Structure 1
């Protein structure tokens, strides 16, 4: 596979005039000749009074792939068998579309209501986490750029799909992914809300009602303030805590080494 050229730079959607990115996932301040150094995959940049977080893989896909191309990657059944960014199917797509394999992989593991929507850059996944080298703060949602705040009060939810793994994968022999950070998404009154949490255990079950505060980003995405999430029964009475509400001090910063067991190898 030939490496994508990093000579072409484009503005990151939603951050025009502030940040740019090239096809190889390098991020630049607008007009700067040198790319920023950051701990993959999150770059946090202070611009004025705000700290803006950007997922480099998402930003590359949004800047260099059309909505139709991103959607095609999400819906391509053949790509469901891909095990990671180094999978030959992913590399082939990256070569044909001339973008980083990480941008292709980010599309494949996303969904229609989330990443495939144009302009999704100032979202929870791009802004809530601190860099992998620094401690991940429990109140990190207060650091991101948002323009409005609202509440959901004792409401039933319509959908709560299986949470997706956010951190690097670990096989069972390496402590697995039970306590790893996952992205949770819940649909209430026709709107999707997102938040980070440890583990894949859901915070609400069918028949439960939920209450929480959320913040709206410039891109129109609703991010739950984790500490406000409350699960209620149909009579409005609080339910004993569901899911893992604890937090972790640091994200996994490196990919797993190749396991000795062949059955645990994912790519």
Structure 2
């Protein structure tokens, strides 16, 4: 296989054995992305250790890499990215929830949350959201570990250029194929035949290269069955992030497909 390892990460801010962080690992050659396997991490420390080990990879990670500039400026927090993340990491989750809830309470209905420049474009949740999904806590758990590992984050942090971390968002790619059809749920009662069919349709589209990324996913029969069977969608989300990482790697350094005009406080979702 050519080039560095590719990584797609479905992240949890409170990982457990039942709901681990999922890494999809693979390689790309000639527009074909081969899934080599998955790795499950049951603790945040295990995630930090994985990031820090030497290697060569380009990774797409499903958590926000920055907060909305509007929010940061309103709160008087540092507007330099690393200083902002370090300040944010120093806060407790209850303090974050209180601060963000107060910000939202002072705003009109329909505009409670501040958004990053690309959130509406990508259809992603505001990175200050602390419930459904709690992406604010995901940022709080993940970013300090990216900083500690010294990885390179294009547009945000110069680091070890052999380990390149990019913000990915599986929903961006899933919606391109499925529109508004849901393909996953953590709730047993919502793990319906319709969602199973949607997962099959999404995987088939990825295998046939039917997305604007122009890449085809290569799976074994066993891998395909495992992705279909995972009703939570966590493994499939990791694979969607893997596809975005493969696209970014094909775009190459220094920007990996990100716009050079991105806000250096907010960041950008790869392929958005």
Specify the TM-score bucket, using the shorter chain as the normaliser.
under 0.3
TM-score (norm 1): 0.27
Q: Which has the larger radius of gyration?
A: 1
More helix by share: 2
More strand by share: 1
Higher relative contact order, structure no. (Cα contacts within 8 Å, ≥ 6 residues apart): 2
TM-score (norm 2): 0.26
